[in-house]
Every structure is written in structure tokens, then in C-alpha cells.
Amino acid sequence: MGPGFRWGDRMVLLSPWRKPGSRPFRGVDQTAGINKMRPLLQEFGFPTMTSSMFLAASISMLLSAAPVWSQDAAETPTDPQVAKGLYLAQAGNCFSCHTREGGEPFAGGVAFVTDFGTIYSTNITSDKSAGIGGWSEEQFIRAMREGYDAEGNHLYPAFPYTDFALITDEDLKAIWAYVKTLKPSTQQPPANDMGFPFNQRSLMSVWNALFFNGAPFKATEGKSAEWNRGAYLVEGLGHCGACHTPRNFLGAEDESRALSGGTYLDRVSAESYRAWSAVNLTSADDGLKAWTREDLISYMKTGHSNRAGTYGPMNEVISNSLRHLTEADLAAVATFIKDLPPIERSKPSGLQAAELREGDTQYTIHCGTCHLPTGLGSTPGSELGPPLVGSAVVQADDPASLINVILYGGQVPQPPPPKGWTTMKPFGNLLDDEQAAAIATYVRSSWGNRGGVVTAADVAKQR
């Protein structure tokens, strides 16, 4: 484990906005947005609303460390409806968000830390009082699609009902059939820790009115059935946009830049969070242009491809969700993603060779053996290091994940991919902030890559 990175500590910060006392995010002008929004908020009857009140509840993300679902080792359900529901629940990754480290499966208690307090995921086992065993199918479908609990209270969008709204009736019924079979657990999540007025769930009606349309999935005409299946999985159940789509100033996904890269925070310890960039998945130069469909399928299935190995929060997405998908569904996801029109997010730094000399030297000393002086990576088969030329992580508008892999190395998921890269070691103790920044700037400015300058302060933020 790299210094400060603890797999046991899985938590997610839902908001891209800063926590009180933490550093602001790069590139998000919080106050500007809120001020613009103020008249609208007042109209809704919230004259004293601050950014935190809304924002916080607005984002949801899974996390990195975490329990791994061993359902594939367990018996496959015999009832076809339940088996279908199990598969869909894997596609939706219910497990990761509803199972806390050391807790019973699906019994909730995973903390989602937001600007205005902490929300805990609920127990969704079939226990009648602690879980949702007493719910009707209608209540379940309403929760998934509209974000209400059984009593009609609003749920917070830390639970991605904004994406789940796209799930068809038929699929929701299958998921419900499966959820009803979950072994009852009496485990109670801790009470949410939110002060007034943030604990007023009714505030969500305003947010929903602004950002949630709840329309069902509609197939796009002129696109193949496979493409539409991919769209359904990516935008609905798979909720890739929860991490990979940038958020607007009130924490809603910015659909005009869908899947072009987002930032979120992962909890490292009780008081500290680390930012990650979830890369641009569109076919942009700073996105997945260099990836073939096969690279993408292999990455989702095994955590490894000729282009990259998973090393951060994608571990959990792959281990608990994507690797369970059928070849046909993974192919559909890849078809949809490879067809995303390019949205370029990064600009070339424009730096000249002389300005890159320090980074060039440090790169040669520390990185070149595996990623090669050309940045092209090792020849397939030697598995020393993936290409950095055309890498979405290297070129991301927000360099957080690039800095993380330099400081903390690659964190290989458990179980490890059957075929994997040799793990990259952490450089956090070998490089000071200036050196790490020089290397990051060098790889972003070389071999045709695009990406802004990384400063020592950017690196310090990730320590």
C-alpha cells in the first residue's frame, strides 16, 4: 500500500465541492455559480440557502477500497427471474454502495460524506424492520426511479436514482425479485449526521425540480440495438456518469459534457480525502481515442488491457460490477462508448524542450525503463508498463489521477486480473513535489500529448 492509501477505508465523498476546511477544487468557481443561482433559490423559498445545502446531497460515488462481492462463487439462483435480478444488481453495483467494510452484504452503513453532513446507505436486505423486506414492489420501483422511500420521503442523490430512473419496469421487477431473496440482516446503518436544515429531506424537491427529469430510457433511432443496449447500461444501471461526467455548480451532472471526465474525492482517513479524476471516456485525443473496442472490453472484464491497468477507484467498479457482465453486454458498452463524439477537455501546454528538461531527466531516471523513452510502453507480452502516449489519465484536464499513480503507485484489485501489468511502485517518497510536478508536466507535454502544466502545489494537494 502506498503511504496514506488504505484499502480498508472505503468511503466516498459525494460532493465535488470542498468540505469545510479542505482545499477547494481546481477549476470550480463555487461562489460564482451560487450567486447566479440565488434568485432562483429564493423563488423556491430558500432565501438563506448556502452552497452546501444543495450541493452536498447531490453527488454520488462509489469507492475504491472495499469488500469484494463473492456472489460468483455462491450458488446461482434457480428461479430465472431472481437470476436475472442478480445479474442486473451486479450491473448496477448495489453491493459496493450498500456493503460496508466488515459488514453484512447489502446491510448498508457505507458513509457518504457531503458538505452538510454524512449520509449512510441503507440496509436493503429482506429484513422486515432493518431492511426493506416489508416494502411492496411498487414502493421499490418508486424508490429506484423517483427517489422516495416507503414513507414518501425524498432520498438523497448519493443514491443514483437520477440514473436508475432509466431502468425499465421489467428490469426493476427482476431486481426486486432478487433483492427480496437477500439474506435478512438486522444491521442498522448509523443515523445520518446532518444538522438542520440539511436534514430536511423536503429540500430535495427543489433540486429534483431543477435537475431531475425522470424520463424513461428511449432508444435512439438510427443506432443499432447493440449501441442502444450500451447506452442503457452506461447511462442507467451502470451509472458511469456519476464519476465520469463533470458536475455543475449544484452538483448535477452536466449533460452537455457527458462522460468527458469528472472529479471526485475518495476518503483516505477520518479527516482526509484524496481527489481522483475519472477520465474523459469520449473519443477525444485526451479521452479514449487511442483505445480499441477490444482494449475497452478487456479492461472492463479483467482490469487489464494493452492500454492500461486499473489502479484506483475503477478497481471496485470492475471487481464488483463490470467483470460480471456478459461478453455481449460488455461489447454493447464498448460500442456505445467508442461512438461518443469527442469532447476535448485539455489544452496543450505549449512548453518548449528547454522548459521540460528537468522533467525529461527525472522521467528518464524513474519512469523510462517501463514506459520507455518514447512513452510507447513496453511491447505487449513484457507487461512492464502501459503506453503513456495518448493516455487519458496522463492528459486529463484535472491531473489528480496522474499525480496519484506517481505518488502511490498502482493498487491492484483483489482478486488480481488473471493477466496483469507488473505493479507500478509508489514514488511518493523518492520524488519531492517539484520533481513529481516536473515529470507530470513532461509526460503531458511530450509525444503529442495535451495537458496543462502541473505545479508543485497540485502535487502537494494529493499528498
Q: How many CA atoms lie within 13 A of 433 on its CB side?
A: 10
User: Within 4-33, which residues bind ligand HEC (CB under 6 A)?
Assistant: none
- Interface with ligand HEC by CB under 6 A: which range of 3-11, 36-44, 212-220, 239-247? 239-247
- Interface with ligand HEC by CB under 6 A: which range of 33-41, 65-73, 368-376, 449-457? 368-376
Distance CA 203, CA 44 (A): 10
Distance CA 120, CA 12 (A): 11
Least separation in angstroms between residue 38's CB and ligand HEC is 25
Residues near 89 by beta carbon (within 8 Å), at least 6 away in sequence:
95, 175, 178, 179
Long-range contacts of 210-219 (CB under 8 A, 24+ apart): 210/40, 210/250, 210/252, 211/58, 211/162, 211/250, 211/252, 212/147, 212/157, 212/162, 212/165, 212/252, 214/145, 214/146, 214/165, 215/165, 216/165, 216/166, 216/168, 217/166, 217/167, 217/168
C-beta of 47 vs 72, nearer to ligand HEC? 72
Residues near 94 by beta carbon (within 8 Å), at least 6 away in sequence:
106, 124, 179
- Interface with ligand HEC by CB under 6 A: which range of 24-32, 75-83, 378-386, 446-454? 378-386
C-beta of 47 vs 111, nearer to ligand HEC? 111
User: Within 429-448, which residues bind ligand HEC (CB under 6 A)?
Assistant: 439, 443
Distance CA 207, CA 200 (A): 13
C-beta of 21 vs 418, nearer to ligand HEC? 418
User: Within 395-424, which residues bind ligand HEC (CB under 6 A)?
Assistant: 401-402, 405-406, 410, 412, 421-424
Least separation in angstroms between residue 32's CB and ligand HEC is 26
- Interface with ligand HEC by CB under 6 A: which range of 21-29, 220-228, 391-399, 445-453? 391-399
Which residues does residue 278 pair with via DSSP β-bridges, in sequence order?
A: 262
C-beta of 65 vs 250, nearer to ligand HEC? 65
C-beta of 32 vs 190, nearer to ligand HEC? 190
Kindly state the DSSP code that residue 429 receives in the 8-state scheme.
Answer: T
Residue whose C-alpha cell reads 436486505 in the numeric block: 125
Per-residue binding letters, 267-306, with ligand HEC (x by CB under 6 A): ---------x-xx-x--------------x--x-------
If one asks whether residue 203 binds ligand HEC (CB under 6 A), the answer comes out as: no
Residue 306 amino acid letter? N
Among 59, 62, 65, 258, contact with ligand HEC (rule: CB under 6 A):
62
If one asks whether residue 84 binds ligand HEC (CB under 6 A), the answer comes out as: no
Least separation in angstroms between residue 389's CB and ligand HEC is 10
If one asks whether residue 336 binds ligand HEC (CB under 6 A), the answer comes out as: no
C-beta of 53 vs 392, nearer to ligand HEC? 392
Q: Quick one: which of 55, 87, 57 has its CA closest to 72?
A: 87
Question: How many residues does the structure list for the chain?
Answer: 463
Instruction: Answer yes or no: are the C-beta atoms of 116 and 194 closer than 8 Å.
Output: yes
Least separation in angstroms between residue 53's CB and ligand HEC is 15
C-beta of 34 vs 409, nearer to ligand HEC? 409
Distance CA 329, CA 288 (A): 19
Report how far Cα 8 is from the mean position of its chain's Cα atoms.
18
Least separation in angstroms between residue 18's CB and ligand HEC is 18
Residues near 454 by beta carbon (within 8 Å), at least 6 away in sequence:
399, 402, 403, 437, 440, 441, 444
| Count of residues that bind ligand HEC according to CB under 6 A | 74
User: Within 103-142, which residues bind ligand HEC (CB under 6 A)?
Assistant: 112, 119, 121-122, 124, 132, 140
C-beta of 43 vs 408, nearer to ligand HEC? 408
Grid cell for residue 68: 469484494
Residue 368's Cβ-count burial label (10 Å; 0-12, 13-18, 19+) is: middle
Among 66, 113, 158, 389, contact with ligand HEC (rule: CB under 6 A):
158
If one asks whether residue 324 binds ligand HEC (CB under 6 A), the answer comes out as: no
Among 371, 444, 450, 461, contact with ligand HEC (rule: CB under 6 A):
371
